[in-house]
Amino acid sequence: MPNHDLPNPVQVRDMLGRPLRDLRISLTDHCNFRCVYCMPKAMFGTRYRFVDHAGLLTFPEIERLVRLFAGLGVGKLRLTGGEPLLRPRIEDLIASLAAIPGIEDIAVTTNGSLLTAAKARALKGAGLARITISLDSLRGETYEAMNDVGFPVAKVLAAIGHAAEAGLQVKLNMVVRRGLNDDDILPMAEHFRHTPHVLRFIEYMDVGNMNGWQPQDVVPSAEIIARIGERWPLEPLEPSRYGEVASRYVYADGAGEIGFVSSVSQPFCRTCTRARLSPEGTLYTCLFGTSGKDLRALMRDGAGDDEIIAALGAAWGSREDRYSEIRSLLRARGGGQKVEMFHIGG
Ligand code: SAM
Ligand code: SF4
Ligand code: SF4
């Protein structure tokens, strides 16, 4: 079995020596939520132009690209969006991707709203091992205000149960925005202690151009760790692999693991091995990218595999991205128009 725990010396590397290992695929930019930190309702109403059906990459196109990416060292996939479960028969795509040599791990990130018991079983049956469900609060009022479509939290809690019953390994993502849901940090930690589900606190990021991000809205992980550690002492764990996004901790009393994604306060660009594919097939090499390579045009114009592999290698080989490390500098300069997070996935 190939060892993907260490950077493979023969695989493609970027300008800063980082290997290409992960691909995040945004299956659609549509979403049934309007989370205030991602797709604020005022900006994403009826007049916003989402990618139409014909513009989306088809499942065979995605499968072809993943096969080519796998040849360049990609072993991990994350299917995201927008809301990925809005793509009908996503389980068929998962089954075909799981069969590609070199693909060792597939995960899905979802808001959980469409995750019925039957869907969870179908995803598991297709070969999915892991699912990340986003949950920002246990309080109905706060949760509904954050998704901004009044979606009830009880349904997401039920979805977490469905995923676990189907045998999926479950992680929870909680984006913390000061003044909005930082009161929920301890209740969320308490709720998921003594469960196999790993809760991850995500620092609120300045993704896209429309969420009105201000540095003071970020609750740094150090503060969250201190708040939780005061109540339930924590012990840090070593990263389980090169390029891991979350810092991992365990509760000293044996109540399980939690994680922290500190992209604002402690950027991890130095080991960033992630490429991203937008719903219409544009390749970005950073979550904060301003431009990308149009792979759909290449495929639909009849390019052969060699030509596409050359384009992928060139895009990664010329990559210098490290937005989070130089955020203040770029923001001060005004920067370019960034791609939106729901467009290239989280
Ligand atoms: N719709 C799915 C969901 O919400 O899980 C998948 C796409 S969503 C863009 C992926 C992840 O990005 C979610 O966990 C979401 O909470 C997170 N996210 C969105 N906007 C964010 C922001 N401004 N800062 C930090 N995380 C954000
Ligand atoms: Fe939709 Fe996910 Fe963005 Fe919320 S975070 S608006 S669920 S894509
Ligand atoms: Fe990777 Fe860009 Fe995020 Fe840095 S800012 S970790 S380069 S996606």
Q: How far is the CA of 234 from the centre of ligand 1 (A)?
A: 26
29 inside domain = yes
179 inside domain = no
Q: How far is the CA of 253 from the centre of ligand 1 (A)?
A: 30
- Is residue 168 within 6 Å of ligand 3 at its C-beta? no
327 inside domain = yes
pLDDT in tens, 192-239: 999 999 999 999 998 877 778 899 999 999 999 999 999 999 999 998
Atom of ligand 3 nearest to the CA of 323: 5
291 inside domain = yes
Q: Is residue 76 helix, strand or coil?
A: strand
Specify whether the CB–CB gap between 218 and 228 falls below 8 A.
no
Provide the token pair at 157.
Answer: 């809690």
Overall average pLDDT of the 180-186 stretch: 97
Q: How far is the CA of 38 from the centre of ligand 1 (A)?
A: 7
Q: How far is the CA of 332 from the centre of ligand 2 (A)?
A: 27
- Is residue 107 within 6 Å of ligand 1 at its C-beta? no
pLDDT in tens, 269-327: 999 999 999 999 999 999 988 899 999 999 999 999 999 999 999 999 999 999 888 88
CATH of the domain at 131: 3.20.20.70
Which residue has its alpha carbon closest to ligand 1 atom 20? 38
Q: Is residue 77 helix, strand or coil?
A: strand
Structural domains in the chain (count): 1
98 inside domain = yes
pLDDT bucket at 5, cuts 50 / 70 / 90: very low
Provide the terminal-to-terminal Cα distance of the chain, rounded to the nearest Å.
Answer: 29
pLDDT in tens, 152-171: 999 999 999 999 999 999 99
Atom of ligand 3 nearest to the CA of 289: 2
Residue ranges making up the domain that contains 91: 22-172+272-344
13 inside domain = no
Q: What is the pLDDT of residue 335?
A: 62
238 inside domain = no
Q: How far from 195 is each of 43, 175, 189, 256, CA to CA, in Å?
A: 38, 20, 10, 7
73 inside domain = yes
pLDDT in tens, 13-59: 999 999 999 999 999 999 999 999 999 998 888 888 899 999 999 99
- Is residue 342 within 6 Å of ligand 1 at its C-beta? yes
- Is residue 340 within 6 Å of ligand 3 at its C-beta? no
Q: How far is the CA of 153 from the centre of ligand 3 (A)?
A: 31
